[in-house]
A and B are shown apart, each in its own frame.
Chain A
Amino acid sequence: MRNLFANVFYEEAKKDERLCIVVADISPAGSMEKLRKEYPERFVNTGVAEQIMIGMCAGMAMRGLRPFAYTIATFTLFRPYEFVRDDLCYQGLPVTIVGVGGGVTYSTLGGTHHAMEDVAIACAMPGMSVIAPCDPEEAKAATQYLVKQDKGPVYLRLGKAGEPVLGSAASKPFEFGKLRMLKEGNDACILGYGPILKMAMQAAEGKSVAVASVHTLKPLDKDGIAKILSRYPRVVVVEEMVPHGGLGNMVKALAFECGARCKITALSLKHEFVHVYGSHEQLLAAHGLSAAAIQKALDG
């Protein structure tokens, strides 16, 4: 996912000299290293300084460039929060903030490196759009969209490297603001975003259960979700985010607004810091998230 972003960005940056990347002391992997070598002026490292990473991006965007801020998800939003809010959102600037390691991806690094509430915070900011691709193909398509858009700030939540492709059977490609069916089915539908949809696909395997990637959290595809709420008797929301202010809350609110009669179960990270170290899957399990937990929700 991270590498697909870098590859697409590098290819597009060759064609559009306005594209720049501003990182805060994160090692440039893959094509990002090529960009750095070939266009050193368009790769800026602010060092361990996230406020200036965002502030600089604002100034660069105001003078005609298209900067992407890029670092570990916690440090793109939490540390420089007010800079994202005032400099980017309040001024409506076309800057993409790329947060790598959304959720508990950095599973051995502890709570300081877990972006557990990033989507809620990003969605709460007026003027901010939020995209969280589920696999490398969506990450690629989202990046292709982002290098061209100039409407305003966007938070792009990425995982890490090596995620599997989940949408090989999807009938439609990524489209900003529209959910995407990864798998069709009739009995139930799983809604989610990000790499955790791998567990959703596992839980749905061999069953007539649909899986939808709600990759654009803001603006939310309300029509698309409303259709799912009216079609399926059973809807499970799964997200690698705290329960407050996430997709689970948004789907339930929408269900109330449109009078949906389906049963909804929302699975998320716990609303607490979990002092566990291990693999990504082990961290998710410590939060109660697994393919088995999703299956249980489907059956319940």
Chain B
Amino acid sequence: MSSLPKAAPAQRFDAAESRRRCLKYRRRILDVSQRVSALHIAPAFSCLEMTDVIYHALKRPADAFVMSKGHGCVSQYVILEDLGVMPSAEIERYCTPQGVLGAHPDLGTPGIEASTGSLGHGLGIGVGMAYAEKLHRNGLQVYVVLSDGELQEGSTWEAAQMAANLGLANLLLFVDLNDFGGLERISEHHPAVFPVLEKWRSFGWEAAEVNGHDAAAIHAAVGARKGGKPFVLVGKTVKGRGVSYMEHVPIWHYRSPNKEEYAKALAELKEIGS
């Protein structure tokens, strides 16, 4: 096997710009929420900073990205729109027969590299992608964003084992640890999901943990990895981060805000530093 670069070439990263972008993305997501009844806003808000850092500071065009937590894809859509990959007209036609975008990402729509939605699939696909690129010896990397609910899927751990067995140092995983499934708080009702970091290490991965809303810390943690193994960054996040009445409230896993709630959310949104 050829030696792979331990990280993508350093890209310029400005945390202040990331904060400004994420504020813009949250506003845009709320804007979209006024046209559909269910949007998965809260899970999109929790992984927004990690997805922003991947797209703006880590992923090179030929690298791969898989949003394994498919219900977080509206975060991906608005970033792809900002990057000029996703036509704004498609965002406007979100979840309508006139458009191509749904509430889970589909392979073949602009910028989307894997169809997800059913949980526990994305990491396995990412392992296959990373293995293919390892055989191609071209140094390409694969980025995967996983929900903490997917830590409950057996298939995630099948994939975790194979990533380590195959020595996939070109696989970078981001776990959105917002501590909520669709129904309840994970640490309270499913405490055996924890400790998370130690689980990944015992499966042969290099692992680090940061505040998942601190873009500078996310970027720094990826840059500081030793390499040689698959890498997981566990981002401790808040489901619904940025809108007070959505934070830690399970109903916002699915619900879209009404007119008054929308106005309140817009009014209180601000840049998130950490």
Contact = CB atoms under 8 A, between A and B. Distances in A.
A143 B133 CA distance: 26
Nearest to A65: B132
B115 A60 contact: no
B107 interface: yes
A64 B128 contact: no
B244 interface: no
A18 to B, nearest CB: 9
Contacts, number: 98
A62 B114 contact: yes
Nearest to B162: A52
B135 A62 contact: no
Contacts of A63: 64, 128-129, 132-133, 136
Interface in A59-86: 59-65, 67, 82-83, 86
Interface residues of B, number: 32
A62 B136 CA distance: 13
B118 interface: yes
Contacts of B152: none
Contacts of B126: 59
A131 interface: no
Given A44-B131, A58-B125, A64 B136 contact: yes
Contacts of B130: 59
A86 B121 contact: yes
B158 interface: yes
Interface residues of A, number: 28
B211 interface: no
A245 B205 CA distance: 44
A163 interface: no
Contacts of A47: 161, 165
A90 B64 CA distance: 19
B98 to A, nearest CB: 22
B155 A52 contact: yes
B113 interface: yes
Given A58-B124, A63-B129, 10 more contacts: A51-B154, A51-B155, A52-B127, A52-B162, A54-B124, A59-B124, A59-B125, A62-B114, A62-B125, A83-B155
Interface of A: 20, 41-42, 44, 46-47, 49, 51-52, 54-65, 67, 82-83, 86-87, 90-91
Rank and list the top 7 A-B pairs by shortest CB-CB distance, nearest first. Answer: A59-B128, A55-B124, A63-B132, A56-B128, A59-B129, A52-B158, A51-B155
22 contacts: A44-B166, A46-B158, A47-B165, A49-B162, A51-B120, A52-B124, A52-B127, A55-B124, A55-B127, A55-B128, A55-B158, A56-B128, A58-B128, A59-B125, A60-B128, A60-B132, A62-B107, A62-B114, A62-B132, A64-B136, A87-B121, A87-B124
